[in-house]
Every structure is written in structure tokens, then in C-alpha cells.
Chains A and B, each alone.
Chain A
Amino acid sequence: GDSVTQMEGPVTLSEEAFLTINCTYTATGYPSLFWYVQYPGEGLQLLLKATKADDKGSNKGFEATYRKETTSFHLEKGSVQVSDSAVYFCALSVRSGGSNYKLTFGKGTLLTVNP
């Protein structure tokens, strides 16, 4: 079945440090890939997405490139801020039957950024 594996946290960085959160996937068919972010006490928010190989999703300084050859979608940011502290989820979406799309999530990575 479809699955997403992301690096286990927690990840603790100092402000302005470089961030990488690794994500790899297994999917039948051709998935779309996503990063969601969950700030403390809130629901998940879509951070960025990529729908085909070599696409780069970007938002708020975060980037991730859809790498079909390595089945990866690593999240990066050049300079993190305290406000980036949150849980980050990698996810994939594939057609699950008819016209439905099913989201499969990784377990999440807690990022804490210290001033």
C-alpha cells in the first residue's frame, strides 16, 4: 500500500539555521506530494505541494522538490525562525477509486526553533 516515511524528530535548531526534513514515499500510481504544517493547538495547514516529477513546491521560504528517481520530497528552508516551530507532515495523494483522492500522511516531525 501507499506509505510515507519522514525523519523522526524532534528537531531542534537555532534561529537562522538551515532546515532539512527528509521524506520518502511508496505509492502505486503517480502521487501528488504535500507538506502540511500544524502549529500548536491548530489544525493542519497546507504548506506546499508538487504534482509531478521535478516540480518544486515553495511557500514562506520553504521548498521541496518532487524526486521520482529517489521517491523523495525533502523539505528545506535556508533560515528558520522561532515562528516556524511546529509539526511538519509529509503526505501523498493518489486516486483511491473512481474520482476520489486519498491522503496518506507521515508520522510528523516536531521542529523547535530557539532564539
Chain B
Amino acid sequence: DSGVTQTPKHLITATGQRVTLRCSPRSGDLSVYWYQQSLDQGLQFLIQYYNGEERAKGNILERFSAQQFPDLHSELNLSSLELGDSALYFCASSVAPDIYEQYFGPGTRLTVT
């Protein structure tokens, strides 16, 4: 158990809908990262937050957004969902953005039908 929690574990929704994925980092970790894992693209970095502020962006679509709250939990919002958004979404955390060791949550499996 990494100490990173993600909810929900599974999510099934229809095209065009909007969903929110939630992540709680390990106790004491201030930095949160979001990744998308799909069969064709592999594991892709989406976005990073540190202490409530966005720090880095990867291959994140404009339809996707995220935020980190004062209690350090983070939410990833996915809107206007398409079939191709079906994937595993992982959250990871680290103590600080300059610490390269990241601890991953169990993931949320999103299925868009």
C-alpha cells in the first residue's frame, strides 16, 4: 500500500459526459501528479500540482483540468468525454516537486461507452 488513495476505482459513463476523479496523496506529500495509461499511448504524464499550484503540464487535453485543494487532495476533471478517453488514470505523490521518487495510487479505470 503506497498510501495514495484514489476514488472511484471504476467509472463507466457515456460519451459527452463529465466526470471527476479524486486523489489523496500520502501523508506529508505536497506534490501530486496525474497520469493516463492506455494500451496505445502507454503511461503519459498529464499534470503536476505542488501545494495547490500547477507546476507542470504534460500531454493534457484542453477538455481535461485539475486542481489541488488546501487539504492537498486533488481532482482531475474530464469533460466532453470521448471513447478514446477510456483508460486507467493514476495519481502519484511526492514530498516535493524536486523529489523524483513518486508513489502511485491504485488508479481509476474509466470506461466511456
User: Chain A: how many interface residues by the 8 Å CB criterion?
Assistant: 24
B25 / chain A contacts, CB cutoff of 8 Å = none
CA distance A36 to B48 in the complex (A): 19
Asked if A70 is an interface residue, CB under 8 A from chain B, the answer is: no
Q: Is the CB of A100 within 8 A of B2?
A: no
B residues 51-109 near A (Cβ < 8 Å) are: 55-56, 58, 90, 92, 96-107
Report which residue of A43, A49, A104, A106 has the largest number of chain B beta carbons within 10 angstroms of its beta carbon: A43
CA distance A108 to B96 in the complex (A): 26
B residues 1-25 near A (Cβ < 8 Å) are: 2, 4
CA distance A49 to B100 in the complex (A): 10
Binding site for B on A (CB under 8 A): 32, 36, 41-46, 49, 89, 93, 96-108
5 more A-B residue pairs beyond the given contacts A99-B96, A108-B42, with a C-beta to C-beta distance below 8 A: A46-B102, A100-B97, A103-B45, A103-B100, A103-B102
